[in-house]
Chain A
Amino acid sequence: MPSMLTYISRRLLFSIPVILVASFLLFWMVRSTFDPCVKLRASKDVEAVARCETRLHLNDPIPMQYLGWANDAVHGDLGQSSRTNEEVSAMVPRALWYTVQLIFWGVLISAFAAVALGVYSALKQYSVLDYTFTGASFVGLAMPPFWFGLIAIELLAIMPKQWLGLDEPLFYFVGLHSGAEKGFGADYARHLVLPVMTLTVQIIASWSRFQRSSMLDVMSADYVRTARAKGVPRRDVVVHHALRNALVPLVTVMALDIGALFGGLIITETIFSIPGMGQLFVRSLQAGDAEVLVVWTVVTAGFIVVFNLLADVLYGVMDPRVRVT
């Protein structure tokens, strides 16, 4: 479908300047606010500060510093972190991998839970369970996520361990593996439960509300009424007509939200000691590590762009009424 390809490439092309401007703005703000050589200033080696400033070109105007970085980046050198001297090209993918795992499980679970809750609530509108789900989702949205995380740890990991006199908690909450464990086995699963729960509570709450209202809309649409009037069984109507159509808006919202999640789940990563994008960001920010932050911004903005595009394309593909041009 050439028109689709043209559309996608045009969208991607147009997004490049925005990403570049964003990365420049961030570089500029970080450089003019935080001092990457601050640690050296407390040392008495006066030359160390001077060397640091020379190495990072801090005496050049900030736009020149940015261009210097961009020039290197074009030639495949993303630079070194001014905080750890490590290659940025190693640090960002490493952090991204952790965040991707969280997003994958979080989204998978949220999607199933939200659709199930949303559809049930819509079909049994104003039932006791509908009210319960609505109330629960409002509470989920109203709880500061760090509060939820800490309480979840206390209630699900620590208290059962103490009451049952276990040697180890049922669910772990430090990192994604204990000790020397690797892979995706039981140990991994026991580490994932609490962070994924903390991460998904708000997502499930909002997606299920969304799914409920879009399902209600679809159920009252003319074609569904017509189908019912023609005597198509309710079950068939719900599954083949209503659900299919009601999923269209949810899928687009999901794509948008997922794109934004790559910016890191700072709270989840902080509470559960997971060294993902959010933690990398916070640590780099406080150290004035503009080198890392610029790459970080380009990567996360890239995900936002791609997932937004995906949202629109999916919308075009799934909804026969909309054609991309």
Chain B
Amino acid sequence: MMRRTNVSWLAALLASALLVAATNGIADARTPYKAKIPSGGTLVLGASQEADCADWINLCAGSSWGQWTMQEQTIPRPFNYAMKKGNWTEVPSPLMAGMPTVKTVNGRQVVTYKINPKAVWSDGVAITSDDFAYTLNQIVNGEDILDSTGYVNVDKIDTTDPKTAVMTFKAGEPFASWRTLFGPSAAILPSHILKGKDRRAEMADGYAWSGGPWLMSWEKGVAITLTPNPKYWGTKPKLDKVIFKFITNTSASFQAFESGEVLAIYPTPQLDAVEKIKEGIPGSRATITAMTGNTEALWINNEKPPFERRAIRQAFARSIDRDAVVKRLFGDIGVDKAVQTLNPPILSRYSDTKAFAGYTRNLKKVASLMKGEGWAKNAKGFWEKKGKEMSFTINSTAGDKRRELTGEILQEQLRSAGFKVSIDNMDAGDLFGEVLPTGDYQVALYAQVATSLDPGLCAIACSENIPGPLNDESGQNYQRINVKKLDPLLETVDVDTNVKERIRASKAADVVMAEYMVSLPLDPLPNIFLYSKKIVGSVRDNPVLSPFWNMNMWGLKR
């Protein structure tokens, strides 16, 4: 049984819980910074969240902001991500001597990582295949591991050559998404430092070693301070220091940016943020992109009445003017069209980006669909069948003003189409931990967040992953999507290592999902990065790694 990583779900949980959209793509293709980047200076940035712990493979981690501010800066990874021909793709990171390769030997998948001979930890000890093996062992045999998907398929890592890690999968257990392994939301850990010790205790509150451009120190509740790692083999940081201050209050973080107390923020696309960007903040630049890893959608429970009927789901979809909703929310920053696939925008090459385009608001169509199902409008203008009025509830996360407003717009549009809708905004922990897994909902508004460039909706849309006894109630197909035509297509995306075949299957799956209207995609939750003009260098958003991924190439104008 092939399931896709659940990291995206954990991330979705945390992201929505704490109002953070995950990753960033870049829309503007500014020319690279040509002038000499000044050296020295302390750069102070705002961080909207503080991680609970820094033991990255443990369940207590799994925070987007933890990943951006600490993990990416200190932990090596096999891939970086770059825009090529309009698509985001993996490129080898400085840790690698070349692109990792995959092949099949004797029916087993074999992945080879060639490690850059110059790559060393901050104590000067080389990064070796032992580190890969140690990390794999920790993930497979450890307790409370954030995500062991894929790692459990690995048979062994051959460490004969310290600079080449050869990873052999178990027979019959290939893993098409192997590029997510040891990636930015997992880790490669220093075996020589941690072996034989309690990894969790060593790392949870921060650590003094590094395999990235920066060394970190974490003052709980206050800030994370990054200083250059003198042993880093790649581009050495120009700045003397980077400080991430925790500013969890959104209006305060904007004010801190306007006042110059912090020089960059990465806020959620709330309407007040949009307004401030529209009006302009002196001395600053804004990067806005719709090419994100996010899919905000109206996720429908396909088993729960009235939505167990396809026609009702379609009538629901045709009651909503999604373009108007998106334009109202993000029009001022140039995002005014609804997305038309359940795949996130950064996976556009795997998506049929027009799949859901047919679902526009059309009340006549709603009427014919509803009448076809035996419903008729009552005196109050609501659909009614056998004396029972059509009504349902949309659940969402509490404390997110944009979602509250979205809910109110939907409520109004659906009301005029004859649906009586109530809104229930709840604690994100309850929504993702309780309501969705148990299926105790009808429609839920939230964003799914992709943390890699690897496609695959099987985990959330294959019938075998509907929570049930077969998967110990741990399946993540919370929408209870059960379409026979869909399963083989999504399984191909998960298993086939041939990229062209994956693309074909994934696009076909999009069309099937639209045909059955399994859920209704809404918007890409545009990412906003605001930074002072004092920051110079190659300031680029990155949909997987955040805009903070290459701060070693930034400088500070005096």
Say if the two chains contact directly (CB < 8 Å).
yes
Q: Separation in Å of the B230 CB from the closest CB of chain A?
A: 18
Complex CA gap A114/B112 in Å reads 73
Mark contacts of A162-191 with chain B using CB atoms, 8 A cut-off: 1 yes-contact digit, 0 otherwise: 100001110011110111100000000000
Judge whether B249 and A275 touch: CB under 8 Å: no
Q: A91, A157, A280: which contacts B255 (Cβ < 8 A)? A: A157
Complex CA gap A162/B46 in Å reads 20
Complex CA gap A270/B436 in Å reads 30
Judge whether B6 and A38 touch: CB under 8 Å: no
Judge whether B473 and A273 touch: CB under 8 Å: no
Q: Which residues of B contact A180 (CB under 8 A)?
A: 42, 225, 241, 243
Complex CA gap A70/B411 in Å reads 49
A150 at the interface (CB under 8 A from B): yes
Between A157, A167, A177, A273, the greatest number of chain B beta carbons within 10 A of the residue's beta carbon is seen for A273
Whether A46 contacts B247 in the complex (CB less than 8 A), given A38-B429, A167-B260, comes out as no
Between A43, A98, A153, A175, the greatest number of chain B beta carbons within 10 A of the residue's beta carbon is seen for A43
B82 at the interface (CB under 8 A from A): no
B456 at the interface (CB under 8 A from A): no
Q: B6, B246, B433: which contacts A44 (Cβ < 8 A)? A: B6
Please tell me the size bucket of the interface on B: 35 or more
Complex CA gap A46/B437 in Å reads 13
A228 at the interface (CB under 8 A from B): no
Judge whether B259 and A39 touch: CB under 8 Å: no
Mark contacts of B233-245 with chain A using CB atoms, 8 A cut-off: 1 yes-contact digit, 0 otherwise: 0000000010101
A32 at the interface (CB under 8 A from B): no
Q: Which residues of A contact B472 (CB under 8 A)?
A: 44, 46
Judge whether A41 and B434 touch: CB under 8 Å: yes
Judge whether A84 and B146 touch: CB under 8 Å: no
B548 at the interface (CB under 8 A from A): no
Residue pairs across A and B with CB atoms within 8 Å: the count is 144
B221 at the interface (CB under 8 A from A): yes
Judge whether B437 and A271 touch: CB under 8 Å: no
Q: Which residues of A contact B258 (CB under 8 A)?
A: 158, 162
Whether A153 contacts B260 in the complex (CB less than 8 A), given A44-B6, A175-B245, A180-B225, comes out as no
B143 at the interface (CB under 8 A from A): yes
A85 at the interface (CB under 8 A from B): yes
A51 at the interface (CB under 8 A from B): yes
User: Which of the candidate stretches B52-60, B326-334, B537-545 sits at the interface with the other chain?
Assistant: B52-60
- Output the nearest chain A residue to B241 by Cβ-Cβ distance: A180
A225 at the interface (CB under 8 A from B): no
Judge whether A39 and B261 touch: CB under 8 Å: no
Judge whether B245 and A174 touch: CB under 8 Å: yes
A154 at the interface (CB under 8 A from B): yes
Q: B52, B255, B261, B473: which contacts A83 (Cβ < 8 A)? A: B52
Judge whether B473 and A173 touch: CB under 8 Å: no
Whether A173 contacts B248 in the complex (CB less than 8 A), given A42-B437, A45-B144, comes out as no
Q: Separation in Å of the B244 CB from the closest CB of chain A?
A: 11
Query: Interface of B with A (CB < 8 Å)?
Result: 3, 6, 9-10, 13, 42, 44, 46, 52-53, 59-60, 62, 143-148, 200, 204-205, 220-223, 225, 241, 243, 245-249, 251-252, 255-256, 258-262, 282, 427, 429-430, 432-434, 436-437, 471-476
Given contacts A179-B42, A273-B247, A275-B220, 4 further A-B contacts (CB under 8 A): A168-B261, A172-B259, A175-B223, A273-B252
